[in-house]
Amino acid sequence: MTTRRTLLKLGCVGAAALVNHPATAAEVCRNTDNDLRELKARIRNARLRPVSKLHSLTEPIIIDRVEMLRRDDQFLVRAVCTEGVTGWALANPGLMDSAFGIFVNRVAPFFSGKDARDLEMLLDEVFVTDSNYKWQGLALWICVARAELAILDLIGKRTGQPVHALLGGKLRDFVGLYHANGDRNHSAQWVVEKLKESVAESGARAVKFKLGARMHYTDASTARDHVLIPMVRKHFGDDMVIYADANSSYDVATALKIGRVMEAYNYGFFEEPVQFDYLQETKEVADGVSIPIAGGEQESSLWRFEWLIANRALQIVQPDLIYFGGLLRSLRVAAMAREAGIDIVPHISGSGLGSLYMAHFASVVSNTTEYQEYKGDPDKVPYEVTGRGGRFRAVDGRLAVPMTPGFGITFDPDYLSGLEPVRV
């Protein structure tokens, strides 16, 4: 069946020919242009609408302070309101050990004295305050994201609600997972063995592996790609959902060739086929293959996501929940994508409670797939799931969405008592 998306991809004359439409090509063109204009307007409006229920909280929650604390190589963010309720977020130490100066000097002071119910608006304000936009990209937004997470945890604990309730209400009790393998240095057979081990451990029903040579390709990497793509499908069979990620390895011509191989083996999506910030080239690949093109983990701009979505350069959007600035900004991307009938499957890092924050996010989003990225529970900081104990880990290929206030975990109080303030 010819869908509206197919018509938009084909353009005016091709569309008229394809559907054997009695209208002239000019009329189809005019309608298509109108559809596009209307879609772009809806996407823009979606970006501007509230994405949470924070504005409906009746009592002010004034943030006394947001601060960065450290113990050994671990960084935690604490948000405290004027009533003394505390929210926590754990950072990814591999990123925060380079970025903490931006957090301490630029992000933390901004939130003092603000009403946490205004958090959506504050995310826009912090971007322009003191010319913070000049620091835009991962270094700024991971700091904003960790502040946001601590504040959301604080609001949840103060109001007795899990964070997903503050974000709009959960649509599902469990979040399904895909397991990603990040190797490019071993043989195709080795990757299959590792994926087998991961699937046996987590019970995931979907997998992802790497293509290309990361930001470039070689004859050897392309030869490996041509072995891996059929081998993974053959090993796991037709019921496994399989994705592959090129991390910007290819040029357009090579991406089209690889994409057609993936089509032949019924892959679920093709991630970052070409240089991540070559937006037009990404669209060329999307227009040239039927397999969905995924991307966005390096993206920090709502405007560029708007372009990627409106121009259908991506069929799966993947903002990183932390690199992009947190759950609320990522929900704006989800809302924009929804207008275009596009799914969001966020990128995550495992460290810094990536799966926990993802589970809250994925539980409230209607336009997502059955499978979210899963990288285990690599954090060293001691905590337990509030109420039921244990770590936050997958069972039978899925994560149970926490139901207790805040993010639903409790850090070990003895561990927290050893934290020291980070100063620069």
DSSP states of 21-89 as a string? -SS-HHHHHHHHHHHHHHHHHHHHHHHHS--SSGGG--S--BEEEEEEEEETTEEEEEEEETT--EEEE
Alpha helices in 160-218, H assignment, sequence order: 163-166, 188-202
The binder of Mg ion chosen from 245, 306, 339, 373 (CB under 5 A): 245
299 binds Mg ion (CB under 5 A): no
Select 153 or 245, whichever has its Cβ closest to Mg ion: 245
Contacts of 35 (CB under 8 A, 6+ apart): 4, 8
Residue 306 in contact with Mg ion, rule: CB under 5 A: no
Q: How many residues bind Mg ion (CB under 5 A)?
A: 1
- In whole angstroms, what is the distance from residue 373 CA to residue 361 CA? 12
CB atoms within 10 A of CB 218: 11
Contact 235, 224 (CB under 8 A): no
Candidates 6-14, 25-33, 37-45, 237-245: pick the segment binding Mg ion (CB under 5 A). Answer: 237-245
Residues 362, 53: Cα–Cα separation, whole Å: 16
Q: How many Å apart are CA 144 and CA 150, to the nearest integer?
A: 10
Q: How far is the CB of 276 from Mg ion (least distance, A)?
A: 9
Give me the residue whose beta carbon is nearest to Mg ion: 245
Please choose, out of 51-59, 238-246, 308-316, 382-390, the segment that lies near Mg ion by the rule CB under 5 A.
238-246
- Give the three-state DSSP class for 347: strand
Residue 117 or 210: which CB sits closer to Mg ion? 210
Quote the least distance from Cβ 138 to Mg ion, whole Å: 14
Give min distance, CB of 174 to Mg ion, in A: 24
User: Considering the complex, what minimum distance in angstroms separates the CB of residue 176 from Mg ion?
Assistant: 19
Please identify, using beta-carbon distances, which residue of 182 and 387 lies nearer to Mg ion: 182
Q: How far is the CB of 247 from Mg ion (least distance, A)?
A: 6
Stretch that binds Mg ion, among 5-13, 225-233, 242-250, 319-327 (CB under 5 A): 242-250
Q: How far apart are CA 363 and CA 272, in angstroms?
A: 25
Distance CA 410, CA 321 (A): 21
String marking each residue 6-45 x if it binds Mg ion according to CB under 5 A:
----------------------------------------
Q: Report in angstroms how near the CB of residue 208 gets to Mg ion at its nearest.
A: 8
Instruction: Please identify, using beta-carbon distances, which residue of 75 and 178 lies nearer to Mg ion.
Output: 178
In the complex, minimum distance from the CB of residue 189 to Mg ion, in angstroms, rounded to a whole number: 23
Residues 6+ apart with CB under 8 A from 91: 74, 75, 76, 77, 142, 146, 352
What is the nearest approach in angstroms of Mg ion to the Cβ of residue 132?
26
**Considering beta carbons, is residue 245 or 306 the nearer one to Mg ion?**
245
For the bound state, the minimum distance from the C-beta of residue 196 to Mg ion, rounded and expressed in Å, comes to: 21
Per the listing, tokens 């997903």 go with: 164
* DSSP conformation letters of 268-289: SEEE--B-TT-HHHHHHHHHH-
Q: Which is nearer to Mg ion, 135 or 276 (CB)?
A: 276
Vertex 206, ends 255 and 346: CA angle to 5°? 70
Cβ-based nearer residue to Mg ion, 357 or 383? 357
- Of 337 and 416, nearer to Mg ion (C-beta) is 337
| Beta carbon nearer to Mg ion, 245 or 379 | 245
Q: Which stretch binds Mg ion (CB under 5 A): 230-238, 239-247, 252-260, 402-410?
A: 239-247
Q: Which residues contact Mg ion (rule: CB under 5 A)?
A: 245
